[in-house]
Amino acid sequence: MTVISDAWAYLTTSSNWTGDKGMLHLLTQQLLLTVTALFIAMLVGLPIALWLGHVGRGGFLAINVSNIGRAIPTFALLALFVTADFPGTAEFGPYGRAGLATLLALALFALPPLITNSYVAVRGVPSDVKEAADGMGMTGAQKFFRVELPLALPLVMSGVRLALVQVWATATIAALVAGPGLGRVITDGFFRTNYGKGIAGAIVVGLVALALELVAAGGQRLATPTGAGGSSSKRDPKGEPGMSAAAPTVAAGADAVGAE
Q: Which residues would be at the binding site for other proteins (CB under 8 A)? A: 1, 3-4, 67, 70-77, 79-80, 82-83, 165, 168-170, 172-173, 175-177, 183, 186-187, 189-190, 195, 198-199, 201-203, 205-206, 209-210, 213, 233, 240, 242-243
Torsion angle of the four alpha carbons 200, 161, 24, 90, in this order, in degrees rounded to the nearest 10: 100
Cα–Cα distance between 260 and 255 in angstroms, integer?
Answer: 9
Is 153 or 202 the residue whose CB approaches other proteins more closely? 202
- 7-30 burial, b for 16+ CB within 10 Å, e for fewer? beebbeeeebbeeeeebeebbebb
For other proteins, the closer CB: 209 or 223: 209
Work out how close the CB of 135 gets to other proteins at its nearest, in angstroms, rounded to a whole number: 32
CB closer to other proteins, 150 vs 239: 239
CB of 77 to other proteins, least distance (A): 8
* Helix H or strand E encompassing 219: helix 195-223
CB of 104 to other proteins, least distance (A): 15
Q: Measured from the CB of residue 256, what is the shortest distance to other proteins in angstroms?
A: 25
Spatial separation of the C-alpha atoms in residues 54 and 123, rounded to whole Å: 7
Q: Cβ neighbours of residue 247 under 8 Å, at least 6 residues apart?
A: 124, 239
**Cβ distance to other proteins smaller for residue 123 or 184:** 184
